[in-house]
Amino acid sequence: MTTQFSWTKQWYPISPLSYLDIYNLTPVTILGKKLVIWRDKNQKWIVMNDVCPHKLARLSMGSITEDGTVMCRHHGWCFDGDGKCTLIPMLAGNEAEITACNSLRSRITTYPTQIIQGLLWVWPDDSSTAFEDCNFKQPATIPECELDISSTPWHMTEVPVGYTVSVESTFDPSHAEFLHQGIGLFSPQTALPMKDFEAIGEISAEGGFTLKHQGYNLFNMDMEAMRKFTPPCCNTTIYRYPNGKTNLFQLYFVPVQPGVCRYIGKFISDVNSLKKNFLFEILPKDLQTGLQHLSTYKLNDQDLSAMYSQEVNQSSLDKKWQRAYFMPSPADIGIITFRKWLDEFAGGNPAWQGCVEGSVKQLNDEQLYDRWHRHTKHCPSCRNSMIFIEKVRNFCNICSLIFTLLTLVFILVSFPLKLVLISTIIGVLSSLLSYMSDESRQLFISSIPKRGLPLVKLYGNKAKK
């Protein structure tokens, strides 16, 4: 008898701790369920339904009070970390307030949480036994290994493509040589047919599955890889090379709602490939992180383009994946294995709460390549980078204006030519830096350039004959 997988009775990583604001509320969605994250007076992270029981306004619009409760912005109702109502201003000091606060109708559902490996985890089950059930299962964390798992930070994005195609892609390594052509060493010319790609051991509802394969290009042909899928959303991939080098990819694909998935991941290596750059090192720490995040967008845009087009085409076909896909290659084993797990144990799709899987929403380029909603609004470092760049731009605008006026004054009163040239050069450099700052700020908002044709350049142009 097949054991059915429960989508809600699971631990999900909801956010890296570094992405959370201890002073403000953070809205988040999992499986279509709208939740809000905040930290109470005991420094405990709380996850509860993002809805006030009074008139159903979103709690995430509110604030955290000085006494460590969350206050609804609409009418000031307050709730503690257990979801109990503690204050109703329009009944304050009245016997009716005690009655209303003790009513189950004024209570907000809260969910079990825990912190492991720098991530906040949530158990999004609202049953009466949730706080007991969660103790019988552990989150799918980074396994013990010889690598320093704290050497690199977590990175989080929320993309406008669904859970299924996202997980499929992570078990499809052979796409890299073609889809990511022009990035690093990826090239169709270096691709090799994958062999010995197989599922090892049993496939189960709770245990997921494990895949084993060798390389797929000229540079990793002797590499041995293990990919472990731990439901509901974890892919742990370890690459081992003959020279002893090891790479680990820890990736989570959190189902947000139909057509939206949250990615949380990190790459860990036993080789420090980052070269120290003096000019880079003197920049503010947040700006350093922000610039590093910018370097990942081209690869991510390429993935988005392919996965979104796949979803659009797939939603237009009245066929199951077995008939819609044609998969004759051993390189497709990862996709087939995941799809079989999804169909056999998990109902073919995540169990959405309050919404249903439907036709794919049509997105234009501005929506598909929107960096603000995808990452920047979630990432403190990228937001602070934008603030810093804006301050630089404003400072440069002021300098440009001041030195332009000074140049005019120097000319009118016949100051030495040397002062005129210095003032002019500073004014021009200030204008140039202001322009560059404006362009840099745009990089955190969208992949679409601010000037010129509003087209996303995914690949280099071939020389015209």
Task: State residue 151's pLDDT score.
Answer: 87
| 363 and 387 together in one domain | no
pTM (2 d.p.): 0.93
Output the domain CATH number for residue 43. 2.102.10.10
- pLDDT: which is higher, 94 or 414: 94
Q: What is the distance between the alpha carbons of residues 290 and 382, in angstroms, rounded to a whole number?
A: 5
Decide if pLDDT at 45 tops 90: yes
Q: Provide the pLDDT for residue 354.
A: 84
Q: Is the pLDDT of residue 348 over 70?
A: yes
Residue 336 domain-assigned? yes
pLDDT score for 273 = 53
Asked if the model's pLDDT at residue 265 lies above 80, the reply is: yes
* Res. 463 pLDDT band, cuts 50 70 90: very low
Do the Cβ atoms of 217 and 192 come closer than 8 Å? yes
Q: Which whole number is the average pLDDT over 297-303? A: 96
Is the predicted pLDDT of residue 186 greater than 70, yes or no?
A: yes
Region 413-430 average pLDDT: 88
125, 161: one domain: no
Burial class of residue 130 (count of CB atoms within 10 Å of its CB; 0-12, 13-18, 19+): middle
* Domains identified in the chain, total number: 3
The pLDDT value recorded for residue 460 is 81
222 with 269, same domain: the answer is: yes
Type of residue found at 53: P
Per residue in 304-339, is it b (16+ CB within 10 Å) or e — as a string?
Answer: bbbbbebbeebeeeeeebeeeeeeeeebbbbbbbbb
Confidence of residue 414 (pLDDT cuts 50, 70, 90): confident
pLDDT (0 to 100) of residue 274: 53
Do 106 and 176 reside in the same domain of the chain? no
| 260 and 354 assigned to the same domain | yes
Q: Of 369, 329, 109, nearest to 216 (Cα)?
A: 329
Domain boundary among 376, 392, 408: 376
Whether residues 176 and 114 share a domain: the answer is no
pLDDT band at 411 (very low <50, low <70, confident <90, very high): confident
Last residue of a domain, one of 376, 397, 420: 376
Q: Give the dihedral sign, CA 402/403/406/407.
A: negative
My answer on whether 65 and 176 are in the same domain is no
Q: Is residue 392 part of a domain?
A: yes
pLDDT averaged over the chain? 93
In whole angstroms, give the CA distance from residue 162 to residue 312: 11
- Considering only CA atoms, which of 190, 168, 142 is closest in space to residue 331? 168
114 with 258, same domain? no
Residue 318's pLDDT is 85
Domain that holds residue 251: 155-274+318-376
354 versus 224: the higher-pLDDT residue is: 224
Mean pLDDT of 31-53: 96
Q: What is the mean pLDDT of residues 312-332?
A: 92
Q: What is the pLDDT of residues 227-262, one digit of tens each?
A: 999 999 999 999 999 998 999 999 999 999 999 999
Cis peptide bond N-terminal to 232, omega within 30:
yes
State the average pLDDT over residues 117-132: 97
Contacts of 350 (CB under 8 A, 6+ apart): 7, 31, 163, 232, 255
Q: Is 429 found in the same domain as 334?
A: no
Mean local confidence (pLDDT), 108-128? 97
> Mean per-residue pLDDT for 47-65?
97
**392 shares a domain with 341:** no
Spell 215-234 as b/e; 16+ CB within 10 A means b. Answer: bbbeebeebebebbbbbbbb
